[in-house]
Amino acid sequence: MAIDYDHLMALESTGNVVRYGDREAMLYALSIGMGRDPLNTTELDFVFEKNPLKTIPTMASVVARVPLLMNCGFDYTKVLHAEQHLRLHQPLPAESELIADARVIEAFDKGKAKGALIYTETTARSKSDGSPLFTATSSIFARGDGGFGGSTASSPQPHVTPERKPDTTCAIKTRDDQALLYRLNGDRNPLHADPELANNVGFPVPILHGLCTYGTACLAVLKTICNYDHTLITGFDVRFSAPVYPGETIITNIWRDNHIVSFECRVAERNVTVIRNGKCTLAN
């Protein structure tokens, strides 16, 4: 079954009520590498409720999952997570009841031999007062499904990383069991847990979730640029370029230009870039 462009563009899901609490906030923080040193009192504020609990901004990528792209005609075995974009309208509370609306915003046809790039958008607002919380945009690349008659316009241009040497660098080693921990945030794709399946699709071991790498990059910026002030981050955008294997060390190169922080991530063990065109927007 091929992609039906008109059907795809009509997909939306509105009024989804989502609840999360401090348990989910602390689990997310632990799953992207916060709290490795239990005596680091600064990081304890993200993983221990003694003081008012702080939240990782990129937690927005997991608290309002709305499945839209089921049975849409593309080959799910060839799908890659291509990009993730986030706009925070206010800092995420440690617990909330929110309303999420999701829709497909565009599907770019790269040609039969190249594939399809499909963008979805999720907006979330507080159920109690209707105030906007965040807008998250995600794209997937369906490698085997081009030529379906979708838009042939150019897809959005990525953020350009400065050519100068990084202003700072942050290395964070992932855990061997980190994918097993991170999947408890809601993404139970067996590719991140089943060694046999991983081997069957060409990976030596189950891979780390792309959104876990995304969260780790946010942790790196929080540590090095924001002094752990999570309220400073109002946007966080990336392009994924390669998977990370659990246990590898993610090195984030960081450039700051006023309220724009650019970054790229690579794994030290293979010298492979795993996130490109990273852009973090800070509050003015």
- Is there a single domain that holds both residue 270 and residue 241? yes
- Is there a single domain that holds both residue 114 and residue 181? no
For 227-236, what is each residue's pLDDT tens digit? Answer: 999 999 999 9
Residues of the chain with confidence (pLDDT) below 50: none
Q: CA separation (Å) from 138 to 33, 86, 141, 245?
A: 23, 9, 10, 22
DSSP state of 8: H
DSSP state of 151: B
Active site residue 192: yes
C-alpha 119/C-alpha 116 separation (Å) is: 10
Greatest Cα pair distance, the chain, in angstroms, is: 56
- Is there a single domain that holds both residue 35 and residue 46? yes
Query: For the chain, how many structural domains are there in total?
Result: 2
- Is there a single domain that holds both residue 113 and residue 5? yes
Which one of 159, 192, 209, 230 is the catalytic residue?
Answer: 192
Q: Which domain holds residue 53?
A: 1-156
For 228-265, what is each residue's pLDDT tens digit? Answer: 999 999 999 999 999 999 999 999 999 999 999 999 99
Give residues with Cβ within 8 angstroms of 107, minimum separation 6: 3, 5, 8, 9, 116, 117, 118, 119, 148, 150, 151
Active site residue 230: no
- Is there a single domain that holds both residue 140 and residue 18? yes
Task: Determine the pLDDT at residue 131.
Answer: 97
Task: Determine the pLDDT at residue 1.
Answer: 54
What's the CATH number where 208 sits? Answer: 3.10.129.10
Task: Determine the pLDDT at residue 126.
Answer: 97
